[in-house]
């Protein structure tokens, strides 16, 4: 049995209701801040990819113009990505061609005066694609180039 003086001692109860209100309010404000941060988090960039209508071509003596290449950029749902910036580089990375895809996600580019790296008989055309709302795409092995 508890002593009677414990029931008559009100010192522990003085100020308790206001403390509970203050702590509950602070907890609710903290929860609201955390939820606002979660809700306002930006969406992650969507993936996309680029393909070419040709898989390889030859250039005489490792130096020359490439044929026109139709580059198509699509997202993972196979929907064309229009307004995408596309950059092609030759195997030696000395020549580049760039442009913006149309509403069908297509662009035709060719590399003028493309060359292979010195001492190499083959290499690859690389591509980089950048579009708003999408993650950057790059492929160092888009099209194979051979010296003829």
Per-residue pLDDT reduced to its tens digit, 3-21: 555 556 566 566 667 888 8
Per-residue pLDDT reduced to its tens digit, 6-62: 556 566 566 667 888 888 999 999 999 999 888 888 888 999 999 999 999 999 888
Residue bearing tokens 């950029």: 73
Tokens, residue 76? 């993972």
Q: What is the per-residue pLDDT for 1?
A: 54
Superfamily grouping for domain 48-147: Macroglobulin (MG2) domain (2.60.40.1930)
Residue 95: pLDDT over 60 = yes
User: What CA–CA distance (Å, rounded) separates 94 from 92?
Assistant: 5
The domain limits of the chain are: 4-39, 48-147
Average of per-residue pLDDT values in the chain: 90
Per-residue pLDDT reduced to its tens digit, 102-140: 999 999 999 999 999 888 999 999 999 999 999 999 999
Does this model's pTM top 0.75? My answer is: no
């Amino acid at each position: 049995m508890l002593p009677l003086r414990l029931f008559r001692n009100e010192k522990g109860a003085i100020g308790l209701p206001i403390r509970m209100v203050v702590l509950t309010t602070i907890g609710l404000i903290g929860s609201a801040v955390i939820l606002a941060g979660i809700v306002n988090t930006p969406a992650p960039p969507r993936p996309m990819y680029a393909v070419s209508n040709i898989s390889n071509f030859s250039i005489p003596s490792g130096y020359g113009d490439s044929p026109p290449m139709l580059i198509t950029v699509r997202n993972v749902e196979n929907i064309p990505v229009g307004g995408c910036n596309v950059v092609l580089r030759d195997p030696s990375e000395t020549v580049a061609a760039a442009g913006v895809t149309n509403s069908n996600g297509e662009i035709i580019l060719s590399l003028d005066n493309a060359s292979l790296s010195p001492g190499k008989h083959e290499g690859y055309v690389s591509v980089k694609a950048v579009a708003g709302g999408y993650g950057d795409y790059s492929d160092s092995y888009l099209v194979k180039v051979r010296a003829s």
